[in-house]
Chains A and B, each alone.
Chain A
Amino acid sequence: MSVDGQSVTGPQGAVSPQPAFSQSGLGKAQTPRRAVVVGGNRIPFARTGGAYTKSSNQDMLTAALDGLIARFGLQDERIGEVAAGAVLKHSRDFNLTREAVLGSALSAETPAYDLQQACATGLETVLGLANKIKLGQIESAIAGGVDSASDAPIAVSEGLREVLLDLNRAKTLPQRLRILARLRPKDLAPDAPNTGEPRTGLSMGEHQAVTTGQWKISREAQDEVAYNSHRNLAAAYDAGFFDDLLTPYRGLTRDSNLRADTTLEKLASLKPVFGRNLGSEATMTAGNSTPLTDGASTVLLASEEWADQHDLPKLAAVVDGESAAVDFVHGKDGLLMAPAFAVPRLLARNGLTLDDIDYFEIHEAFAGTVLSTLAAWEDEEFGRTRLGLDGAFGKVDRTRLNVNGSSLAAGHPFAATGGRIVATLAKMLHEKGQVDGRPALGLISVCAAGGQGVVALLEAQ
């Protein structure tokens, strides 16, 4: 089989699925036991420069942890392991998660580690910890993520940094003076963080604008995704859906980016901000792209035994996960298109199709990202040449997509998004319960910088 892409059937495009996963039975057969989502807690997400301007990553992660501890009565509990991370990180935050644990009401004997996989950080912590639980290495875990674009680190320039390090090594005054003489005025300008891709110099938005154009996604379709996100999230808040998923912080009780009263007309009136120099019509606006945001989220995971012993709920099982990456550097695929490859592989391994999924949570980095991914899956050519299938991968039932809103409305504090989605989806699946005599299934897809994507499958308990 000759395919130019990433066959869904294996890394080398092998015809048959990998035997180890062929009789998966949704993760039951391949693992001795299940890892379940007990619940979650996050703080409301705040637009950068807003309510959390003075809050550090550690402050926010600790607050999210303490809310989780209070909800589930975990005071002084020694959790198996806590894993979290931040994308924008100060050098002092080298042990961020452990420091947050020490500042929380958990037992100080709870170990913790940091993880970083760009915007997929949060989801990857869930998958890694769930695997440890499935393997019997730990009984309980807290996954999480935090990011502050307000309290972002600012570094000194490379020039100044080298001079300072050399100065530290110098022994004599003349040596020191010679080193100092190397300094140039431009070296004194600080290096502010940016979300541009190191290998292309393009911002994420500019990358997506190329992809959005390639898949011919219209402005109207993108605005509709944004509109639905705000409307769905607002409705979920009004229904009290987040009452047990969120704890207020610094006076904020809802995500500050949420515009419950936005209209398609208002969204249509915004000027494009990305893709203005691509020749084609620019369609991506501040309305259909996620803004920089501050926030933190946590998810409590456990073995079924641990949850039962502690009289805690079991919302959903973390069945399986998959990651993928694309070669965006040479323009083969769009920067944020990795999930388009990861999801087909994940579903094939579990013997599922898109039609089997009851809820889709596709992270809205940009409305264009979601729509480009859906378009790729519906495209026969993409299915044949890139996924190694007989035709198109399939169609996502739009009434099952991001039904309680997603990042366009809630905001996207990079590492915190995975935890937000996992806890939200787990609760939705639990409420849905059984569908046609089988547990409801949910799919999560998160794209990330560096051309990466992490996806996961959850099943109602």
Chain B
Amino acid sequence: MTDIYSRLVNKGPGRDVAKKLGLPQPAVLRRYEPGQPLINGPVLIEGSSAGADELAAELLTWDVDVRRHAVPREKLGGIVLVLDSLASPVDLEKPVLTVASSLRDLAPNGRVVTVSLTPDGGSPAAAAARQGVDGLLRSLAKELRAGATGNGILLADGVGTTAPTALGALRFFLSGRSAYVDGQFVRVGSTSGKLPADDEKPLAGKVAVVTGAARGIGAAIARTLHRDGATVVAVDIPAAGDHLAAVANDIRGTALQLDISRDDAGPRIIEHAVGRHGRLDILVHNAGITRDKLLVNMDHGRWSSVIGVNIAAQLRINEALLASEHFRSAPRIVSLASTSGIAGNRGQTNYAASKGGVIGMVRATAPLLAEHGGSINAVAPGFIETEMTARMPFATREIARRLNSLQQGGRPQDVAEAIAFLASDSAGGISGEVLRVCGQQLVGA
């Protein structure tokens, strides 16, 4: 977890030297902590559509300092670019160039969020404009500095700028919860979902199961869901039981020692959650293993264990959940994918196949959960500082760490925040999607 370089270039002489030499200067990211304001500084809402006006009105009720026009030299916390009425690529120029000069006034850890329509509809010209937003936002995100990020919200047909999940996603992107999410879009496919009564406890009253919760990202997920108000069942293999017990005791949850690749894992998870806590609302499939080898040297054991744990077990558990009457009240599943499963990674054919599998599973399972008002999504972490990445060779690790727009590795907490968001009702309109938490990794899409 120690990124010594980041610490060196963030203070004193180290900062000056790095600046002079043009070395990467990873910023200290503003991460969410309870009690923190949504965003530091005013939010400029650019756009002249009705959707932009409605959004601005909504933001005023959030206790956010809203600007409809930039005030010269005023530091901005964020810029929301509402592009929900583009008829042609030509329409992009006016709003984009209007906010261009305001980018200089974006505060450290500032936020740029685009709100536009999904590019799968409309005339060729409208579709071109909508898809244009994709290229625009991803490029803009790469130009931002000092911990600022750029992300986009895509609205499907019939979903307005103030639909519950459109607002939920906007809150997520503006807040410190999305610190390591950069250059990404989320697609709001429906008007389902609702904003929490208490923004500090969005998961109050929910019972969540987290697999692989004994350490690393899984432990961070368990802690974050607990912080957000959920009662957590921490699951891990029996051999990790001591670490698991420590996590469970820390967050006032229960520990369930269970190998998720067992045939009866699904029923046992349901039995524990419902028996002990009366319900089951959220399942986070975090447990996963790596058995890296070039394909030319791959064997049955390495291949089958990775597929078995990382995807086959998830499919089996989902089947049990979908068949259970206890998983019918706006149920949420969030599964861990990986950027390896999207862009590929040398030596990880088995792992990437399993993680690609997760993305396919999520897409195909979404309609099955929709009838219960539920959702299923995946989170694909990039380079995250864990015990696992700490064991990488120094040079490989250092390169992997810097090759993203934020020039640093993420923390388990960053992945956990994205999962907590997707597990909440405020993301209820997002389903079948993959959200990358990678600081806008430069290699492989």
**A interacts with B:** yes
Measuring CB to CB, which residues of chain A are less than 8 angstroms from any residue of chain B?
A: 63, 66-67, 69-73, 75-76, 105, 240, 242-244, 246-249, 253, 311-313
Chain B contact residues, CB within 8 Å of chain A: 234, 238-242, 244-246, 248-249, 252-259, 262, 275-278
The contact of B252 among A76, A240, A243, A311, by CB within 8 Å, is: A76
B238 touching A70, Cβ below 8 Å: no
Residue of A nearest to B239 (CB): A253
Q: How far is the CA of A7 from the CA of B190 in the complex (A)?
A: 79
User: In the assembly, what is the distance between CA of A313 and CA of B276, in Å?
Assistant: 8
Residues of chain B lying within 8 A (CB to CB) of residue A75: 249, 252
Q: Nearest chain-B residue to A249 (Cβ)?
A: B242
Do A247 and B257 form a contact, CB below 8 Å, given A240-B238, A253-B239, A311-B278?
Answer: yes
Q: Taking the nearest CB of chain B, how far is it from the CB of A61, in angstroms?
A: 14
Complex Cα gap A257–B73 (Å): 73
For the complex formed, measure the closest distance between the CB of A112 and the CB atoms of chain B, giving whole angstroms.
18
Q: Determine the residue in chain A with the shortest Cβ distance to B231.
A: A73
- Pairs across A and B, CB under 8 Å, 9 listed: A70-B254, A71-B254, A73-B248, A73-B252, A244-B256, A244-B257, A253-B239, A311-B276, A311-B278
Q: Known: A63-B242, A75-B252, A76-B252. Is A243-B258 also a contact (CB below 8 A)?
A: yes
- Structural contact, B239 and A311, CB atoms closer than 8 A: no
Contacting residues, chain B, for A248 (C-beta < 8 A) = 238-242
- C-alpha gap A291/B163 in the complex (Å): 68
Contact between chains at A66 and B246 (CB < 8 Å):
yes
* Cross-chain contact A243 with B276 (CB below 8 angstroms): no
User: Sorted from nearest, which 10 A-B pairs have the closest CB atoms?
Assistant: A70-B245, A70-B255, A70-B248, A105-B249, A247-B241, A73-B254, A253-B239, A75-B252, A243-B238, A67-B245
Separation of A313 and B254 alpha carbons in the complex (Å) = 14
In the docked arrangement, what's the CA distance between A253 and B253, Å? 22
Within the complex, the shortest CB–CB distance from A253 to chain B, in Å, comes to: 5
Contact B253 A73 (CB under 8 A): yes
CB-defined contacts of B248 to chain A, threshold 8 Å: 70, 73
A67, A70, A71, A247 — most chain B CB neighbours (10 Å): A70
Q: Which residues does chain A contribute within 8 Å of B257, judged by CB atoms?
A: 71, 243-244, 247
Q: Please give, as numbers and ranges, the residues of chain B lying within 8 Å of A242 by CB-CB distance.
A: 238
Q: A432 vs B259: C-alpha distance in the bound complex, in angstroms?
A: 23
CB distance from B270 to the nearest CB of A (A): 14
Given A73-B254, A73-B276, A243-B257: A66 touches B238 (CB 8 Å cut-off): no
List chain A residues, Cβ under 8 A from B240. Answer: 248
Contact B259 A311 (CB under 8 A): no
- The chain B residue with its CB closest to the CB of A104 is B249
Q: What is the distance, in angstroms, from A164's C-beta to the closest C-beta of chain B?
A: 41
CB neighbours (8 Å) of B253 from chain A are 73
Query: Which residues of chain B come closer than 8 Å to A67, judged between CB atoms?
Result: 241-242, 245, 255
Are A311 and B255 in contact, CB atoms less than 8 angstroms apart? Answer: no
- Name the B residues within 8 Å of A71 (CB-CB): 245, 254-257
A105 to B204, CA, bound (A): 23
User: Which residue in chain A gives the minimum CB-CB distance to B274?
Assistant: A311
What A residues does B246 contact at CB under 8 A?
66, 70
Structural contact, B241 and A311, CB atoms closer than 8 A? no
From residue A280, how far is it (CB to closest CB) to chain B in Å? 45
Chain A residues with CB under 8 A of B275: 311, 313
Q: A240-B259, A243-B258, A311-B275 are in contact. List 16 more A-B contacts (CB 8 A).
A: A66-B246, A69-B245, A70-B246, A73-B248, A73-B276, A75-B249, A76-B252, A240-B262, A244-B257, A248-B238, A248-B240, A248-B242, A249-B242, A311-B277, A311-B278, A313-B275
Q: Which residues of A contact B245 (CB under 8 A)?
A: 66-67, 69-71, 247
Q: Which residues of B contact A246 (CB under 8 A)?
A: 238, 241
Docked Cα-Cα span, A73 to B242, in Å, equals 15
Q: Are A70 and B249 in contact (CB under 8 A)?
A: yes
A71 to B238, CA, bound (A): 12
In the assembled complex, the Cα of A67 lies from the Cα of B252 at a distance in Å of 13
Residues of chain B within 8 A of A249, CB atoms compared: 242
Set of chain A residues within 8 Å of B234, measured between Cβ atoms: 70
| Nearest-Cβ distance from residue B355 to partner chain A, whole angstroms | 27
Which residues of chain B have C-beta atoms less than 8 A from A312's C-beta? 276
Cα(A243)–Cα(B249), bound, Å = 18
